Amino acid sequence: MSSSSRQSKIAATSPKVTLLDRDQSILAFNERVFDWAHRKDVPLLERLRYLCIVSSNLDEFFEVRAEPHLVACQRKDDKGLFSVASFNRLSQTAHALVKRQYALYNDELMPALEAQGIKIVSHGDRNAAQRRWVRQYFEREVKPLLLPVGLDPSHPFPEVANKSLNFIVRLGGRDAFGRENEIAIVKVPRVLPRMIRMPDKVSGQRNYFVSLSSVIRGNLAELFPGRDVGQFSQFRVTRHSDLAVDEEDVKNLRTALRHGLQHRHYGQAVRLEVSAGCSVHLSDFLLKQFELPEGALYRVPGPVNLVRLTQLIDLLDAPMLCFPTYQSCYPAQLSPGVSFFEKLRTGDVVLHQPFESFDAVLGFLREAVNDPQVLAIKQTIYRTGSDSELMDLLREAVRRGKEVTVVVELKARFDEEANINWSEMLESIGAQVLYGVVGLKTHAKMMLITRREGKQLKRYAHLSTGNYNPRTARLYTDWSHLTADPLLTADVENIFVHLASHSRLPKLNRVLLAPFYLHSKLVEKINDLAQVAASGGEARVVAKMNALTDENIIYALIRAGQMGVKIDLIVRGACMLPAQLPGLTDNIRVRSVIGRFLEHSRVFYFRRNGLEELYLSSADWMNRNMMRRVELAWPVTDAVLRQRIIDEDLIAYLHDGVDAWDLLPDGSYARVEPGTRRAAHGAQAALMGRYHGQDDAGRD
């Protein structure tokens, strides 16, 4: 069969596969995270932490993904991707997950914590001394910051900020003016801690705590003298919070975003949480105020914001109830005290975070800042946090007279304010600050150092699958790649010039860049492998990423699988490709690994008849990454480094026998059964052990 005939055969192959629902897949991911809160082999406080992580993830899901479903429900649309049916499915799945969360919290985690001497003491369980202390705390610390609002024509329902804690109270009797206005709202200031440790004198030197909501609940009557406090409930509303700015219609993106941030907390309401005992009268009143359907109401038998329980974990000193501390090791390829520039002249270096320390990346930048031969530093910033040593180093580089150029992504979701502040600081001291390309997010992670060496200028680069954020670098798995490869560093230089000048991008040597070539090149590579398989050759794809939702890539994978390509996909979160469908996707396996660290690396491996290609990337296989972001994928050409990445980030995860989940044909996930043989392992635990010379580091 000729090449053109094979291509025609591939193109004509109709996958005939219905893709999985993206939002249901996101919720399924949270079910897998929630499993860690159930696991008895996980330390108790870590189980509570995973419960909080799921709640935080659900908050973001509603803030970003729920609005179109809700709008369709309110309009009574019954067709299309978003409809009354899609809202009902989403609501049913989310309600079931929340119900399971609170069942675990009340029936397992709280009793287990109490058995360890840790207790959140409710109003009804407090003895006389504890009640006196709570009342005194309320009078001293809480009451002065509360301002109850009685609703009447001159005091309409107040603006309630996104995810803020509030009380709604139904009052009896008449107010000071003889009126019967019965509803009052109490907004709880966010400056107050949500968990308060009881002093030893009333706790008996045990780890006893009270929640802020319980402190207020027990003293509500103090806020309404002369009125009868009847029904009441905590409530919390979640609002759509994805900033939308028409970049084509603004003159200053930074100013427009800062203005938008002022309104983010008051977007459209999408979810209402109330206490389980909230009366129908009060819940109906709130639903009407927020213009929400019944399916958006969540009655919870416990704290309306489980995320705040992380404060309890932080207040405890109980190392036996937490994971053993894991200390990242210094990268094996590097030697402390040896110049990064000297090392990179002998070959590339890759770092596997968090098993190897992100401090090496900071060390690379620190050496560049302190080296008088370094003339220029260019870097992208997507998420770096509000307190960052890396940004301090860039500030020092400016002070030392180096040319510093920073491409700051102002639209990094929920990091906009921090990035705006950093951009203003850097600009004020003389750094050149750029904001990328209108309409695109700059998601690529790259740093370029230009150094004078004799009569030449030499470039050194750092490329990464993750952000320049020292805190998340201890929690996320990622790859960092340090290189002096002239072809790769020339590509990075050209990309920075393109982002600054918007000039036509020259042909790149090694880097695949979105939104220009990355998407088409990936599809082309998959299609080429399909041709190889159709000709009887060996063809293989192994790809690891956070999400797989791009339909063109999915259908290319399905066609390639049907032509005989063996495909393994390691997808942490949302995946719309249904694997193992008989006669359709038999050659495609999808698994998700949920571990102690958040899987974040993107690794793409292609093999044809023994020839291997491996790319690291900042991009997931999502349409937004391919078409609406500046993203990089770059090859690892050193055979030794390539094999190391294959061993540690592909093979290890494909053979994970503890923390992996396999995607089933119906879209559900089945956790792999932990093996009874010693060979069964979790990939992350094995890597922690490998880097510290132990067999099973970090697992109880």
Task: State the amino acid at position 572 in one-letter form.
Answer: R
Q: Are residues 398 and 499 in the same domain?
A: yes
pLDDT value of residue 246: 44
**pLDDT over 70 for what percent of the chain?**
89
Among 253-262, 279-288, 492-501, name the one with the lowest average pLDDT: 253-262
Look at residue 463 and give its three-state secondary structure: strand
Q: Are residues 496 and 353 in the same domain?
A: yes
User: In this structure, is residue 13 part of a structural domain?
Assistant: no
The band of 178, judged by pLDDT with boundaries at 50, 70 and 90, is low
Q: Are residues 296 and 344 in the same domain?
A: no
- 3 pLDDT exceeds 80? no
Q: Are residues 280 and 367 in the same domain?
A: no
Q: Are residues 416 and 436 in the same domain?
A: yes
User: In this structure, is residue 11 part of a structural domain?
Assistant: no
Among 425-429, 624-628, 668-672, name the one with the lowest average pLDDT: 425-429
Spatial CA neighbour of 467 closest among 565, 567, 583, 546: 546
Once rounded to an integer, what is the mean pLDDT over residues 187-198? 94
CATH number for the domain that contains residue 199: 3.30.1840.10
User: In this structure, is residue 626 part of a structural domain?
Assistant: yes
Specify burial of residue 188 (Cβ count, 10 A radius: 0-12, 13-18, 19+): buried
Helices (H) and strands (E) in the chain, counts: 23, 27
Q: Are residues 397 and 478 in the same domain?
A: yes
- Domain count for the chain: 3
Q: Are residues 38 and 153 in the same domain?
A: yes
Tell me the backbone φ, ψ of residue 453, rounded to 5 degrees: -130, 100
The band of 443, judged by pLDDT with boundaries at 50, 70 and 90, is confident
Q: Say how far apart CA 207 and CA 199 lie, in whole Å.
A: 9
Q: Are residues 526 and 506 in the same domain?
A: no
What are the start-end ranges of the E strands in 597-671?
Answer: 598-599, 602-608, 611-617, 629-635, 660-663, 669-671
pLDDT value of residue 88: 93
* Single residue among 268, 290, 321 that ends a domain in this structure: 321
What letter would DSSP give residue 417? H
- 308 pLDDT exceeds 80? yes
Q: Are residues 521 and 442 in the same domain?
A: no
Look at residue 30 and give its three-state secondary structure: helix
Once rounded to an integer, what is the mean pLDDT over residues 229-236? 93
- 698 pLDDT exceeds 50? no
Once rounded to an integer, what is the mean pLDDT over residues 268-294? 95
Q: Between the CA of residue 278 and those of 273, 358, 673, what are the distances in Å?
A: 10, 48, 41
pLDDT value of residue 407: 86
Q: Are residues 180 and 315 in the same domain?
A: yes
- Whether 621 contacts 549, CB under 8 Å: yes
- 694 pLDDT exceeds 50? no
Q: Say how far apart CA 26 and CA 57 lie, in whole Å.
A: 9
596-616 tens-digit pLDDT: 999 999 999 999 999 999 999
Q: What are the tokens at 661?
A: 């989940």
Q: Are residues 293 and 410 in the same domain?
A: no
- Whether 372 contacts 452, CB under 8 Å: no
Q: Are residues 369 and 440 in the same domain?
A: yes
User: In this structure, is residue 187 part of a structural domain?
Assistant: yes
Active site residue 240: no
pLDDT value of residue 693: 65
DSSP assignments along 267-321, one per residue: S-EEEEEEETT--HHHHHHHHHHHT--GGGEEEESS-S-GGGGHHHHHH---GGG
Could you write out the three-class secondary structure of 568-583?
EEEECCCECCCCCCCC
CATH number for the domain that contains residue 674: 3.30.870.10
Catalytic residue among 240, 352, 443, 600: 443
Q: How far is Cα of residue 549 from the mean position of the Cα atoms in its chain?
A: 16
456-469 tens-digit pLDDT: 999 999 999 998 88
- Whether 574 contacts 547, CB under 8 Å: yes
Q: What are the tokens at 10?
A: 């591939």
pLDDT value of residue 257: 47
pLDDT value of residue 399: 92
* Single residue among 492, 510, 528 that ends a domain in this structure: 510
Tell me the backbone φ, ψ of residue 482, rounded to 5 degrees: -100, 135
The region, left, alpha or beta by phi > 0 then psi within -120 to 50, assigned to residue 131 is: alpha
User: In this structure, is residue 8 part of a structural domain?
Assistant: no
The band of 388, judged by pLDDT with boundaries at 50, 70 and 90, is confident
Residue 41 belongs to domain spanning: 22-321
> Long-range CB contacts (< 8 A, 24+ apart) of 665-670?
665/578, 665/579, 665/580, 665/581, 665/582, 665/585, 666/578, 667/20, 667/21, 667/24, 667/25, 667/28, 667/578, 668/28, 669/28, 669/31, 669/32, 669/592
Which residues, listed in sequence order, are joined to residue 101 by a DSSP beta bridge?
none
- Within 8 A by CB and 6+ apart from 666, the residues are 578
User: In this structure, is residue 474 part of a structural domain?
Assistant: yes
User: In this structure, is residue 681 part of a structural domain?
Assistant: yes
Once rounded to an integer, what is the mean pLDDT over residues 561-581? 97
pLDDT value of residue 344: 97
* Single residue among 480, 510, 540 that ends a domain in this structure: 510
Task: State the amino acid at position 449 in one-letter form.
Answer: I
- The pTM for the full model equals 0.91
- 487 pLDDT exceeds 80? yes
User: In this structure, is residue 5 part of a structural domain?
Assistant: no
